[in-house]
Every structure is written in C-alpha cells, then in structure tokens.
Amino acid sequence: MIERKARVFNIQKYNMYDGPGIRTLVFFKGCPLRCQWCSNPESQTRRYEVMFKKDVCVNCGACVPVCPVGIHGMVNAGACHVVDRTKDCINCGKCVHACPEAALAIAGEQKGISELLEVVEQDWLFYENSGGGLTVGGGEPLAQHEAVANLLLACRHKGIHTAMETSGYAKLDVVRDMADVCDLFLFDIKHMDANKHHELTGVRNEGILTNLQWLLENGCNVNIRMPLLKGYNDDDAEIHAVGRFLTGHAHRKNFKGVDLLPYHKMGVSKYAQIDVEYPIKDNPVLDDSDLQRIENILKGYGLAVKVIKH
C-alpha cells in the first residue's frame, strides 16, 4: 500500500499559543489566500522555494555549479549571486550544503504521514501532562485535506488531541469530513465584508462564513481567531459585525470564545528571502487602548474574549 505524503515546510515543538497545552505544530505548504499580513510567505505556494539571505551571502558562487536545474547564478561580472525564481527547485539540497555562510535554505519537503506521526509522538508525555497535542497549520491545511485528515485520524487513534488553524476557505464537504477527525478548529475571521475580505486576502468570504456557521451549529469545537490591523479591520463597525454574527452561538458549549491576534512584524524578513515585496507599507500596530475597545465591544455581545500576543 502506498502511503500518502504531505508537503510541509516547518515543524515546531513546544508551542503554547495554538491550542490548549503544549503542542507540536505541523505547517502544511500551500494556501489559496494571499493575506497582506501573512507571516509565512514561503507557505503560500506548493513549490519548493529557495530562501536566500542576501545580507549573509559573500557571493562566493559555491552554489552555482552544484545546482542541477540552474537556479543559482552570478551577475555583475561574477560579483553578485542571484536566484532565478522562474526555475523550479527540486529540493536536492546541494546548494544548502555547498554554502559556507548558511545563506540558503529550502522551504518545503515531502513527508509521509507515518514520518509526521513519529515526530508528533515524540512529545506524547508533554501532551498528556498539559492537555496538549498536535496543531496543523500552514499555509492552509484544508488545501491538503486528505493528507491532513490521515494525520489527524492517526493521532486520534493514539489518543493525541488535534487542532487545526484554518481560514475556513474550502468546500463545505471538505469541512464536514474534517470535522470527523479534528478536535478543535482555530478558525480565522479576517473581515466580515466580502469585498473587503477579497481586497485583504484575495478571496471572498461567503463560503468561509457558511463553513463556520456549519461547524458551530453541528457541535464542533471552534475557537475564533481575529488577526487585527489598525486601519484595516479594527473599526467599530467591523467589530460589531463580528459580534452580531457570533452572539447567537455564545451559549453553545462547543464555542470556545474569541482570540484577538494583534498585528506583528514577525516574518517580514522572509519576504526578501524569496524576492517578494512586503505588501503592507504603513504600520498597522494596535495599541492597548485599541485592543481594550475591541475586547469591550465583543464582550458586549456575550462573547468570551482574550488577547494573544506573540
């Protein structure tokens, strides 16, 4: 029997932010959204991507002859190393090993479900003592829903709690299938207005809200997460719209409240490493008074709210 494989780009242990207890995060590569504030730009495509730290590179050219597909080159009479983004990396890793300054890395690798499960199981005692477990994120896990479902089901068979960070952007049938194997959904609300949602993320949100409604109405554990940017999605009208949408679910035992995630600049440096311009030019950081205002509005709708700062 051929084992299903997944395309992942990171595994993070001892996480305390993304679900209850101590958790292992598995980040799946590929996402249909293009959120302007994305802190993992290397997660957006399914392709392997060369991460290149220009400020570390000494332009020695050691990576050029070892790359079998010609991604690396030297310009300006051999004085400057460049990466050709039109060519597909095959993740052979030869350039990474050749680089004397650790200026190169490859984002993305193929992992079998059994390999991922083995890594997750290494911290089983931490999960047992803290009420933790596995959280899958990305990228967007629903974009690799079959592989993700296999991993979550394998964890369930081992008695490991499972959670999923998701934008909710998928067909409802996919979400229904995932509900059978996921213990907790960490579900983003980025903006309530469909047009504004499209402007900020590249997709509309009608299907997302339908999926969220279904999860809440069908007894699935849901923790709402709101990434917040000053001047983008923090105005009173937007927050009241969120409150009105969620207030009818506040009494449900499976509704686990709202986490406010204030904007941070973690991950900004990674854009330069893949030769992509960071979309946000201003500084949309919320101050404590902004967060208190938002928290008070949502609590006025009977919602449990907490601020999560990384």
- CATH superfamily of domain region 5-45+113-307: Aldolase class I (3.20.20.70)
The vertex-79 CA angle with 73 and 82, nearest 5°, equals 30
What is the spatial distance between Cα 218 and Cα 14, in angstroms, rounded to a whole number? Answer: 31
Q: What is the pLDDT of residues 183-228, one digit of tens each?
A: 999 999 999 999 999 999 999 999 999 999 999 999 999 999 999 9
Q: What is the mean pLDDT of each run of 10 residues along the chain (310 residues)?
A: 88 96 98 97 97 97 97 92 96 97 97 97 96 97 97 97 98 97 98 98 98 98 98 98 97 97 93 96 95 98 92
User: Residue 41's pLDDT is what?
Assistant: 97
The vertex-33 CA angle with 190 and 266, nearest 5°, equals 70
User: DSSP letters along 225-270, please?
Assistant: EEEE-TTTS-SHHHHHHHHHHHHTTTT-TTEEEEEEEE---TTHHH
Q: What is the pTM (predicted TM-score) of this model?
A: 0.95
**CATH 3.30.70.20 matches 49-107:** yes
What is the spatial distance between Cα 27 and Cα 11, in angstroms, rounded to a whole number? Answer: 6
Torsion angle, alpha carbons of 62, 64, 69, 73, to 10 = 150
User: Residue 246's pLDDT is what?
Assistant: 98
User: Residue 48's pLDDT is what?
Assistant: 97
3-state SS class at 164: strand
* Residue spans per domain, the chain: 5-45+113-307, 49-107
- Order of strands across the sheet that contains 23-28: 109-112, 5-15, 23-28, 133-138, 161-166, 184-188, 222-228, 255-262, 305-307
3-state SS class at 8: strand
User: Residue 1's pLDDT is what?
Assistant: 59
Closest Cα partner for 280 from 206, 212, 208, 227?
227
The vertex-149 CA angle with 147 and 155, nearest 5°, equals 105
Q: What is the pLDDT of residues 51-93, one digit of tens each?
A: 999 999 999 999 999 999 999 999 988 889 999 999 999 999 9
- CB contact set of 264 (below 8 Å; sequence gap of 6+): 39, 285, 309, 310
Closest Cα partner for 151 from 140, 159, 162, 143?
162
Is the dihedral angle over the CA atoms 207, 134, 223, 14 positive or is it negative?
A: negative
Q: Which helix (H) or strand (E) holds 2?
A: none
